[in-house]
Amino acid sequence: MANRSSKLGRLYIIIVFLLLYIPIVYLILYSFSKGTTMTNFNGFTLTHYGELFADKRMLAIFLDTILIALLSSTFSTIIGTMGALAVNNTKRRHQRETLLSLNNILLVSPDVIIGASFLIFFTALKVPLGFWSVLLSHIAFEIPIVLLMVLPRLDEMSPSLINAANDLGATTGQTLSRIVLPVIQPGIIAGFFMAITYSLDDFAVTFFVTGNGFSTLSVEIYSRARQGISLEINALAGIMFIFSLILVVVYYFIENHNASKLKKQDKLEVTGK
């Protein structure tokens, strides 16, 4: 009986995984299709990739998107980590909960609300819409997720570590750079990568604050998709899929590098006993 239900379970997850991946495979498959529609596969070709690479506008947008992602995630990681330190240092429970709820507002708000309110904000401050407004918006909505990735590490850290460093004569700066930052480093890295994905994934907020001159890939895909099927977008999907995979691999490489250090220690501890 248990065996049958587990077989049923396996069948179920295989079906769901198929449903999850069919659209993606379908999308990328047609990037290699001759013709112009996503309906008949007319034989293998790389022309859509050729078109994509020859598309100067698309290339510029691609580079802008990457630039925005890297810059915004760097700044948001710095500010978010500072914020996590601030929240961690707030000992009164009530104050801490207020700070955390304020922090989470941007995480739970619908994208259109963030986009619309930032649009009002930039207009009120007379910030011109374009690169800077998009960059500032991305930094703004990435900060809370960085904080949420870093804070648990800080909370887990025994407060006596900081007291110990202090006790041995370290200044606040030394304690921060030699003890706190190294200990919470995995959270900072995770936060940085989450920030990059948030930036690359965002459409709605960017769409509101981008103005006329500047564009990111999401906005570009949206405006082209509204005009109908263009297999150049499929080719772009193929490239972005590979880019995502590389990002995953890089992240897991860094994670494993950290984890393998720990694993090695575990092993030694076991054999040592």
* Residue labelled with tokens 């007291």: 163
Q: Find all residues with CB under 8 Å of 77, minimum gap 6, and list them.
A: 146, 188, 191, 192, 195
Min dist. Cβ of residue 54 to other proteins (A): 21
Beta partners for 33? 44
**Burial of residue 111 (number of CB atoms within 10 Å: 0-12, 13-18, 19+):** middle
Q: Which of 134, 143, 149, 190 binds other proteins (CB under 8 A)?
A: 143
Q: Tell which positions 194-213 bind other proteins, by CB under 8 A.
A: 197, 200-201, 203-204, 207-208
Cα distance between residue 80 and residue 92, in whole Å: 20
Q: Tell which positions 144-183 bind other proteins, by CB under 8 A.
A: 158, 160-161, 163-174, 178-179, 182-183
Q: Tell which positions 251-270 bind other proteins, by CB under 8 A.
A: 262, 265-266, 268-269
Min dist. Cβ of residue 128 to other proteins (A): 17
Report how many residues bind other proteins under the rule CB under 8 A: 102
140 part of the interface to other proteins, by CB under 8 A: yes
Q: Do 3 and 198 contact (CB within 8 A), yes or no?
A: no
Looking at 7-15, 45-53, 56-64, 66-74, which segment touches other proteins (CB under 8 A)?
7-15
Q: Which of 68, 69, 119, 235 binds other proteins (CB under 8 A)?
A: 119
Looking at 13-21, 54-62, 66-74, 126-134, which segment touches other proteins (CB under 8 A)?
13-21
Looking at 42-50, 51-59, 110-118, 126-134, which segment touches other proteins (CB under 8 A)?
110-118
Q: Which of 154, 194, 217, 235 binds other proteins (CB under 8 A)?
A: 217
DSSP 171: -
Q: Tell which positions 37-66 bind other proteins, by CB under 8 A.
A: 37-40
**Burial of residue 242 (number of CB atoms within 10 Å: 0-12, 13-18, 19+):** exposed
Cα distance between residue 32 and residue 212, in whole Å: 32
Q: Which of 82, 100, 127, 254 binds other proteins (CB under 8 A)?
A: 82
Min dist. Cβ of residue 53 to other proteins (A): 18
Say whether 44 sits in a helix, a strand or coil. Answer: strand
Q: Do 122 and 103 contact (CB within 8 A), yes or no?
A: no
Looking at 44-52, 53-61, 97-105, 127-135, which segment touches other proteins (CB under 8 A)?
97-105
Closest CA to 180 of 156, 154, 211: 154
Cα distance between residue 192 and residue 78, in whole Å: 9
